[in-house]
Structure 1
Amino acid sequence: MGDHNSDIMDFDSILDEIGEFGKFQFTNYMLVCLPVFFAAANSLSYVFTAAIPNYRCLVPDCDTDTEYYEDWVSIAVPGKTIKDNFVPLQCQRYQRNYSVIAPEWGAECNKEMFTTEIERCSEWIFDEGERTIVNDWLITCPENQWKLALVGTAHFAGIVVGSGAFGVLADKYGRKLIFIVCTVIMSITGVIQALSTNYEIFTLFGFLNAVGTSGVFPLAFIIGVEMVGKTKRDITGIVLNYFYALGEAAVGLIAWLCQDWVSIQLIVSAPPIVFIIYYWMIPESVRWLLAKKRNRKAEKIVKKAAKVNGVQLSDNILSTFEDSPNDSDNNLLQTPLKTQKVKPDMWEMIKEVFRSKVMIVRGLILFYNWATCAFVFYGLSLNSVNLIGNKYLNFTLVSLIEIPGYSMAWYAMNKIGRRLSLSGSLFLCGITCIGGAFVSEEAAWLTIILFLIGKMGITSSFGVIYVYSAEMLPTLIRSGGVGSMSTFARLGALIAPFVPLLNYIHPAIPLLLFGLVSVIGGFFILFLPETMGRKLPDTVAEAENLSENKLVRDVEMNNSNTPKR
């Protein structure tokens, strides 16, 4: 019975029989991808719900209705001309010359009615073509723009809170249940956010919406990876990222069509409530069920998978299930027999890592680059609406470019290695962003092209760094290490919403900032070892000895205090 139980813990051997990615897995994988589409839409909807619409000062003697575009605006409100279009300042106007009588009703204002002195205003005319929270709650003028940036920061703070909590809960209560709970939280809080009556409620439920959203993608990833064979795991991760990119792009298209923040938020958050039916539609992770000794439920799912995939289970697998113990709620938190081994003290290994200058230097480089990837990735998405041209189209293109970005990452890191793929992607992003900062306004098309290439580069970097970091860490701290780096990356994401405010100083500053931090990151990556094709390190000593490049290895070993074994 012990042998049988050991066999059943190896789910990969079961997949060899039922198929690594058969019809059963494909159908359920597609189902878990759908909430990811909406999770992406919820994650970036605030780019448009909290966007700055066109508005200008109300001119009392001239404005007889709520029309934003008037022929006389340029003589009453200071501004600048961009491509033959006059863009008025938002919070300033020329002082009224009261020695000149106001025109009769229906007549246009004239230049003599105003002096050259500029004054602040407290009433505004909004472009009726777009409605955001700025219109409804008068979050106007530069001194209040931090409130709009805070909406994004609150979102990423919610992701930090949720991503850690839901991972633990999914290990304890199951992937499917927590995945559905996250999706429902995302939907309900998003709808409440759409019905908010003030800025504070909107921001609070934006935070709670992010808490729910934070669990959707990683749990979908885990469910997908755990249901397929080892040769199909790469493609499940890539396709999931494709759905995420499509969800981001959908926000741009929805905002383009609606241009009303309440409608946008309802469209992206209300539909996911239907995914509550997944409780009866998709199966729990068989790997998790076996790990928790819920063998009868695992057997039922495996038999169904075999039937749908059109295969017959072998007598060996069937007898293994028959001889396995029945489900027991008392055993749900027990460790499976396969993993009940005496393990080295994890804390001792952590201490050993901190005694190694090699590991500390590598860790600092990786932590910096994780933060850089998140900062630049989200920063470019948020800043895309400030590019010249149609902001909805620009945002959609910047989102869709992630698809070739992730594809490039998958191809490059398996052809030229992890180190050069990550460094090259960061350099590509950095150089194109810096170049885009110096392009004149007349060549806006070139700025957009460079911007898109930069986003593709940082997307590729994000795709590589997950794998690269995991392959560089010892086994006992691999999961926790990557989790810590991912959490640290959120610090970069927390700062990203404030970067567009730098446009008030100079429009080139955001791109220069994104470019510089990317180039610095790409340079530091060159001092790390290549991990492609190398055995995953089990100990700190093995991790230290990953370096094959003599220059890199000499630099690291000369700084190491850890005895080599």
Structure 2
Amino acid sequence: MERDGVSPEIEVTVPLELSVEEMIEQSIGRINFTQILQAILVSLPTFFDSQQTFISVFAHAQPTWHCINNTSCTSKSNLCDLPKTNWAWDSVNVHTSIVSEWDLECTSSIFAGMPATSYFVGCLLGGLVLAALGDSSLGRKNLLCISTLVMSLAALASAFSPNIWFYSVFRFLCGVGRAPVAICVLVLLTERVSKRWRAQAAMAGFISFSLGILGLTGIAFLTRGFSWRTLYLWTSVPGIISSVLCYLFLFESPRWLLMQGREKDAMAILRGLGSINSISPSLPKINTEQKLPKTNPFISLKILLSRRWAVKRLLASMLLAFGIGVMYFGMFLGVGNLGFNIYLTSVFNASLSLSSYMLTFLWWIQHCNRRSSLLGFCTLSGATCIIFSVVGKGHLGVVIPLELVSLFCACMAYNLVLMYMVELFPTCVRNSASSLVRQAMILGSVFDPMLVLLGRKSIIYSYGTFGLAMLLCGFLVIWLPETRGKVLCDTMEEQELMDEDGKLSF
């Protein structure tokens, strides 16, 4: 209204310069249906990631056998000491496993474990090569789609392998493709929600991972009388479809877009993810001090390794992750050595893993410190694993409960360390640093297939080693800072300032 012919003064509020964190909190502070759908979509690749990681549990299993036409042959006889004419596989289809199809039952553990080892070596090398691409040229979304597609196509090719050499090559390529999947999913989930919902969003990827193991176990049980190749067909084709769906409908990380200087694209995604009136129509000035040049896809690694505190933090994190990787993957891969039903044990383990994810992200992340929790879980998991490996698989009443306790603690440590890594490093190097830590975890898993095969003679060779690695590496967490309740920094300078203000320097 006008008073005495004079227009009233209108107070104009000029928006202050916003940081990326403030922009995220302002635009998508409240969870909505679109964010839930995006979380489900982005976590879909981990469903197939877990299946390709643990498919060797069933495809490489030692089939059961029986004696024929010879009274000197018994069920306790050493299979390798018997002539081929004195025994036969129980299954009508003798090709239920690569062991029976390619006569691997009496070969060395190195040769028999070559396909599984090739897969984890592929994961290791693929992560080292592809890790930085999610921070630079490709971005989180494109890297996730390409990785899922390569992983699934290589798995499909594995179903048509004529011999163990081709099979090992395809498993290697599958591992290369699979390497960035878990980190891309975790980073995408956590970078597109506010601090309040970060833990719950991350849980979606872990739950999908466990459901993938349950799905794999169900498919393996239903196809147990068929060729192992059928298992690959049922797990690879849906993975190809999921990569296409992600490419068509998945949103890129707005944080990454802002760091690349693509403010308009980031704002469009924030409007799509946020509430209708959550963002002003005008584009505020956003403070992005440290954008990554698009010409060098590995510039994020250079930035990461240029800071002394970051290198020390990275090394400690990688050694910690190495021990957890040896334990976590070894526990799942070694279920056949416990002398219990392999399908039932896999269901128990996957269900336990699923419950650990629910506990971690619905309660533990919000209420408990990262460092003390990791130290406790690593110690308990390693100690119980060593105990039941010494007891031996002849005492199932003792071994199975201790194995479940050890696995549960290993799953909790696995969950916490991945979430911890996201919080330890800023946006400009987060994908690279998290991927390197993840690769250290994969390096630990490279030794698991051979240890599992050695464990068929005595589980102390496998589970004893798993527990010792977990126990020793777990103590390194005391050299890392606590990050509970801290905001996600976007540049190295912001991280250094926060560490200095909070006295979190390494």
Decide whether aligned partners of structure 1 residues 234 and 46 sit closer, same or farther in structure 2, where only a CA change above 3 A counts: same
Partner of 1:100: none
> Structure 2 matches for 1:73-472, cutoff 5 A?
75-80=71-76, 88-93=77-82, 121=84, 125-128=88-91, 131-141=96-106, 143-170=107-134, 171-259=136-224, 260-275=227-242, 276-305=244-273, 309=275, 311-312=276-277, 317-320=280-283, 338-340=288-290, 353=308, 366-410=317-361, 411-412=363-364, 414-439=366-391, 441=393, 443-468=395-420
AA paired with 2:216? V
Change (3 A) 1:503 1:320: closer
Q: What CA deviation, in whole Å up to 9, does each residue of 1:240-259 have, x standing for no partner?
A: 11111111222222212212
Pick closer, same or farther for the CA change 1:416–1:387 going to 2, 3 Å.
Answer: same
Specify the code of the residue in structure 1 equivalent to 2:308.
V
Q: For 2:345 and 2:264, how far apart are their aligned partners in 1?
A: 52
Query: In the alignment, residue 385 of structure 1 is paired with which amino acid?
Result: G
Equivalent AA in structure 2 for residue 126 of structure 1: W
Counterpart of 2:369 in structure 1: which amino acid? G
Residue identity matched to 1:262: R
For residue 447 of structure 2, give the secondary structure of its aligned residue in structure 1: helix
- Deviation, 1:467, is 4.6
**Paired residue secondary structure (2:328):** helix
Deviation at 1:274, TM superposition (A): 1.7
Alpha carbons of structure 1 residues 493 and 540: separation in structure 2 relative to 1, 3 Å: farther
Compared with structure 1, are the counterparts of its residues 272 and 126 closer, same or farther at alpha carbon in structure 2 (3 Å cutoff)?
A: same
The separation in 1 between residues aligned to 2:204 and 2:427, in whole angstroms, is: 27
Deviation of 1:425 (Å): 0.3
Give the Cα–Cα distance (whole angstroms) in 2 for the partners of residues 515 and 219 of structure 1: 29
Hey, what does 1:507 align to over in structure 2? 459
Q: How big is each residue's C-alpha offset from its partner over 1:45-94, in whole Å with a ceiling of 9 and x where there is no partner?
A: 12211222124xxxxxxxxxxxx465x65x232552xxxxxxx422223x
Q: Aligned letter for 1:163?
A: G
The residue that corresponds to 1:493 in the other structure is 445
Query: Whole-Å Cα distance in 2 between the matches of residues 14 and 349 of structure 1?
Result: 24
Task: Report what 1:43 is aligned to.
Answer: 53
Cα distance in 1, alignment partners of residues 151 and 109 from structure 2? 26
Tell me, what secondary structure is at the counterpart of 2:332?
A: helix
Structure 2 CA distance for aligned equivalents of residues 301 and 527 of structure 1: 38
**1:433: Cα distance to partner?**
1.1
1:374-420 alpha-carbon deviations (Å, 9 max, x no partner): 00111111111221221111122222211233344444454442222
Equivalent of 1:32 in 34, 38, 42: 42
**Range moving further from structure 2, 379-388 or 442-451:** 442-451
1:34/1:222 CA distance change after superposition, 3 Å: same
Paired positions, count: 473
Check the 8 A contact 1:372/1:521 in 2, yes or no: yes
Question: Structure 1 pair 271/364, CA: closer, same or farther in 2 (3 Å)?
Answer: closer
Deviation string 1:423-449 (CA, Å, 9 cap, x unpaired) is 110122122212222446553143122
Pairwise CA distance, 1:192: 0.8
Shift of 1:337: 5.8
TM-superposed CA distance for 1:526, in Å, is 5.2
Deviation at 1:169, TM superposition (A): 2.8
Separation (CA, whole Å) in 1 of partners of 2:265 and 2:465: 53
Give the letter for the 1:51 counterpart.
A
Cα distance in 1 for residues equivalent to 2:88 and 2:37: 51
Instruction: Tell me, in whole angstroms, the C-alpha distance in 1 between the residues paired with 2:247 and 2:314.
Output: 40
1:97 alignment partner in structure 2: none
* Offset at residue 338 of structure 1 (A): 1.9
Q: Distance in 2 between matches of 1:304 and 1:481?
A: 29
Contact 2:291/2:428 (CA < 8 Å) preserved in 1?
A: no
Please say if residues 187 and 431 of structure 2, whose CA atoms lie closer than 8 Å, have aligned partners that are also in contact: no
Please give the alpha-carbon distance, in whole angstroms, between the structure 2 residues aligned to 1:436 and 1:201.
37
In 2, the alpha carbon distance for the partners of 1:36 and 1:346 equals 25
**Letter aligned with residue 183 of structure 1:** T
> 2-side partners of 1:539 and 1:434: how far apart?
42
Residues 454/173 of structure 1: CA separation in 2 closer, same or farther (3 Å cut):
same
Provide closer, same or farther for how the CA distance between residues 122 and 353 of structure 1 changes in structure 2, counting only shifts above 3 A.
farther
Q: Which amino acid aligns with 1:274?
A: I
TM-score by length of 1: 0.73
SS in 2 for 1:401: helix
1:290–1:78 CA distance, 2 compared to 1 (3 A):
same
| Amino acid corresponding to residue 116 of structure 2 in structure 1 | G
Change in Cα spacing, 1:123 to 1:161, as seen in structure 2 (3 Å) is: farther
Q: Provide closer, same or farther for how the CA distance between residues 484 and 298 of structure 1 changes in structure 2, counting only shifts above 3 A.
A: closer
Letter in 2 for 1:401: L
Cα distance change of structure 1 residues 293 and 446 upon mapping to structure 2, 3 Å threshold: same
**CA distance in 2: counterparts of 1:20 and 1:279, whole angstroms:** 25
Would the aligned equivalents of 1:92 and 1:121 in 2 still touch at CA under 8 Å? Answer: no
- CA contact 2:326–2:470 (8 Å) conserved in 1: no
What pairs up with 1:45-60 in 2 under 5 angstroms? 45-55=55-65
Alpha-carbon separation, structure 1, partners of 2:188 and 2:483: 26
Distance 1:294 1:123, change over 3 A: farther
Query: Who is 1:58 aligned against?
Result: none
1:271 Cα deviation (Å)? 1.2
CA distance in structure 1 between the partners assigned to 2:419 and 2:192 by the alignment: 19
Q: Identify which range, 132-141 or 279-288, moves more after superposition.
A: 279-288
CA distance in 2, matches of 1:203, 1:278: 28
Paired residues of 2:67 and 2:73 also in contact (CA < 8 A): no
What is the CA–CA distance in structure 1 between the aligned matches of 2:304 and 2:181, rounded to whole Å? 32
The answer on whether the counterparts of 1:474 and 1:540 sit within 8 Å (CA) in structure 2 is no
| Cα distance in structure 1, aligned partners of 2:498 and 2:16 | 32
Secondary structure in 1 matching 2:386: helix
The amino acid of 2:282's aligned partner reads S
Separation in 1 of the partners of 2:339 and 2:123?
A: 31
Structure 1 residues not aligned, in runs of 5+: 56-67, 81-87, 94-119, 325-335, 548-555, 557-565
Superposition RMSD on alpha carbons, in Å? Answer: 3.7
Name the SS for the 1:21 alignment partner: coil
2:492 maps to none
Q: What amino acid is aligned across from residue 81 of structure 2 in structure 1? A: Q
